[in-house]
C-alpha cells in the first residue's frame, strides 16, 4: 500500500473514533490539507492525495473554496459495538428496510431448525446448487410477469453481491470490456474496477439503457458482458418498459453478448414485466437475493443461469468462498415455504409506496425535480442551480442527514449530474418527514445560505 493510502487509513480510523466518541459530527470541516501536512510532517502534495483518497472512499466531501468536510459515518471504518455512533443521524444512504416486528414473523422458521436432527445436516458445507426443494421454492419466489426460471438453472450464494461478484469473475476476464449503464450500482462498478475490467459507460434515456448505445460500443470494440438493472434501477429508481426490454434482449441475442440482470429490487413491483431473462434465456444471468425482501443480516443470494454458463458460475462461487451456508440456505427457504417472505414483500411494497409518496409530496410539492418509480424505496433528486452534489451532501450532513451524491454511481469519469440519491427505507417514519423538509429548505435556500460560517 502506498504511503498516502496508509495515511488515509490512519486518518479515516481516527475520524471514526472521533465520531464514535462524539468529538466530531458529519459536516465538520477537516483541517486544511496544508495544516494536516504540517502536523504530519509530510509534503503538501502528499496531504492533498490523502484528502483525495478520503473523498474517493466516501469518508469526506470536498467543496471548492470551502474545504473538506466529514461525511456521514457510512464511509468510515467500523468501530467496536460499544463505541457505536451516537444517534440522531437520518440515514438516506443505505437502502435496507427492516420492519419493526420482523423478528416475531421470522422466528418460528428458525425455531424449527434448532432441534439436533434439523441442525446436524446444516453444519456441513453448503452446496451452491442446494437441493430440489430449495430450487423449487426459489424459482417460485423469482417468478414475475408470467415467467419463472427453471429450478435446475439456479445457484445459491451467501448474498446477492457475492452472486454478482461470481458473474464478473466467471464471465469476463481482466482487461475485457464490461458495458454498464451510465449511472449504475456503486458496488457493481467497484467490483468491476477491482477485477481489472474495462468499464464502458452506456448512455441512458428515461426508459433505461439505450440499445443504440450498446450497439455503438460493441461495434467500436466488442463488449464481453453487460450489467443492467431494468427493474427499479439503482440509483435512478426508473423501470424499463416491456418494449425496451425486448429490444435489449434481441440485441444481446443478435450480437452474442451475455448480460447480467440485477433484479434485487424487482420484488417491489407488484405488476412487474417479464425480465430480460424471459426474452433471452440463453444470454441472460439473473441475479436476485433476500437482502431487500427480508433483511441484510439474514440473507441469501441466488442466480438463474443459462445451461452453458452454469458450471462456470458454480465454480466461481466455490472458488470465491461465496457459496450459501447451510443454515442460511435452510432458513431462507423455510421463510419462502411458510409464507413469511410473501408476507414481508406485501408489507414492504406498501411501506415503499407510502414513503415514496411522502417524498414526492414534500420535495416534489415544494418545486424540486424527482425521478423514480412510485414503487421504489429510492428516488433521484435533481438539485436546482447553483447547487453541486458534493456541496449539497456536505450541507445535509451538517444537519445530520446522509444522502449519496451522483458521482458515487457514475460509471465513467468526468462530471456527474448535480443530483443525489435518496434512500427512503432505513429511517423511522417519524424521522423521515422532518428530514425531507430539511432537504427541501436546503435545496431552495442555495449553497451560500447553507454554508458553514
pLDDT digits 0-9 by tens, 177-196: 999 999 999 999 999 999 99
Position of cell 414483500?
A: 345
On whether the CB atoms of residues 191 and 230 are closer than 8 A, the answer is: no
- Strands (DSSP E) contained in 22-174 are 60-63, 67-70, 90-91, 154-157
In three-state secondary structure terms, 155 is strand
Domains of the chain (ranges, CATH numbers) = 4-70 (1.10.10.10), 90-97+345-445 (3.90.1150.10), 125-338 (3.40.640.10)
Q: Residue 17, exposed/middle/buried by CB under 10 A (0-12, 13-18, 19+)?
A: middle
On whether the CB atoms of residues 394 and 71 are closer than 8 A, the answer is: yes
Residue 7 has pLDDT above 70, yes or no: no
- What is the distance between the alpha carbons of residues 103 and 416, in angstroms, rounded to a whole number? 40
Q: Which residues pair with 419 in a beta bridge?
A: 382
Which residues, 6+ apart, have CB-to-CB distance to 318 below 8 Å? 128
Q: In what order do the strands lie in the sheet with 225-228?
A: 154-157, 301-304, 284-289, 258-262, 225-228, 177-181, 198-202
The pLDDT of residue 4 = 61
Cell of 208: 433505461
Q: What confidence tier does 115 reach under pLDDT thresholds 50, 70, 90?
A: confident
Structure pTM? 0.83
Greater confidence (213 vs 30) lies with 213
Listed range (3-17, 277-291, 346-360) with the worst mean pLDDT: 3-17
pLDDT digits (tens, 9 = 90+) for 329-386: 999 999 999 999 999 999 999 999 999 999 999 999 999 999 999 999 999 999 999 9
Amino acid at each position: 500500500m502506498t504511503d498516502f493510502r496508509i495515511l488515509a487509513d490512519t486518518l479515516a480510523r481516527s475520524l471514526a473514533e472521533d465520531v464514535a466518541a462524539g468529538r466530531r459530527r458529519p459536516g465538520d470541516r477537516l483541517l486544511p490539507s496544508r495544516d494536516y501536512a504540517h502536523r504530519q510532517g509530510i509534503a503538501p502534495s502528499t496531504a492533498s492525495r490523502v484528502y483525495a483518497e478520503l473523498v474517493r472512499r466516501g469518508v469526506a466531501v470536498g467543496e471548492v473554496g470551502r474545504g473538506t468536510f466529514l461525511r456521514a459515518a457510512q464511509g468510515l471504518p467500523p468501530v467496536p459495538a460499544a463505541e457505536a455512533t451516537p444517534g440522531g443521524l437520518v440515514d438516506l444512504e443505505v437502502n435496507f428496510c427492516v420492519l419493526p416486528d420482523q423478528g416475531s414473523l421470522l422466528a418460528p422458521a428458525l425455531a424449527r431448525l434448532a432441534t439436533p436432527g434439523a441442525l446436524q445436516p446444516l453444519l456441513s458445507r453448503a452446496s451452491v446448487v442446494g437441493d430440489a426443494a430449495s430450487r423449487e421454492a426459489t424459482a417460485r419466489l423469482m417468478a414475475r410477469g408470467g415467467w419463472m426460471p427453471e429450478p435446475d438453472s439456479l445457484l445459491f450464494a451467501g448474498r446477492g453481491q457475492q452472486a454478482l461478484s461470481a458473474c464478473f469473475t466467471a464471465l469476463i476476464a481482466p482487461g475485457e470490456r464490461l458495458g454498464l449503464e451510465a449511472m449504475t450500482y456503486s458496488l457493481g462498478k467497484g467490483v468491476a474496477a477491482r477485477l481489472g475490467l474495462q468499464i464502458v459507460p452506456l448512455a441512458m434515456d428515461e426508459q433505461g439503457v439505450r440499445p443504440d448505445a450498446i450497439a455503438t460500443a460493441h461495434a467500436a470494440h466488442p463488449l464481453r458482458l453487460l450489467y443492467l438493472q431494468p427493474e427499479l434501477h439503482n440509483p435512478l429508481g426508473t423501470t424499463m418498459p416491456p418494449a425496451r426490454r425486448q429490444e435489449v434482449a434481441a440485441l444481446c441475442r443478435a450480437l452474442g453478448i451475455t448480460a447480467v440482470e440485477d433484479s434485487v429490487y424487482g420484488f417491489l413491483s407488484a405488476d412487474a414485466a417479464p425480465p430480460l431473462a424471459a426474452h433471452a434465456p440463453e444470454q441472460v444471468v439473473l441475479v436476485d437475493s433476500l437482502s431487500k425482501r427480508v433483511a441484510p443480516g439474514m440473507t441469501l443470494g441466488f442466480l438463474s443461469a443459462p445451461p452453458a454458463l452454469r458450471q462456470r458460475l458454480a465454480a466461481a462461487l466455490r472458488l470465491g468462498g461465496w457459496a450459501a451456508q447451510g443454515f442460511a440456505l435452510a432458513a431462507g427457504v423455510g421463510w419462502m415455504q411458510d409464507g413469511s417472505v410473501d408476507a414481508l414483500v406485501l408489507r414492504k411494497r406498501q411501506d415503499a409506496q407510502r414513503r415514496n409518496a411522502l417524498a414526492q409530496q414534500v420535495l416534489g410539492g415544494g418545486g424540486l425535480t424527482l425521478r423514480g418509480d412510485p414503487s421504489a424505496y429510492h428516488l433521484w433528486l435533481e438539485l436546482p442551480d447553483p447547487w453541486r452534489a458534493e456541496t449539497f451532501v456536505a450541507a445535509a450532513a451538517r444537519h445530520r442527514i446522509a444522502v449519496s451524491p451522483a458521482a458515487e454511481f457514475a460509471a465513467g469519469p468526468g462530471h456527474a449530474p448535480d443530483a443525489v440519491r435518496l434512500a427512503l427505507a432505513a429511517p423511522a417514519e417519524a424521522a423521515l418527514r422532518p428530514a425531507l423538509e430539511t432537504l427541501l429548505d436546503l435545496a431552495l435556500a442555495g449553497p451560500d445560505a447553507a454554508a458553514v460560517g
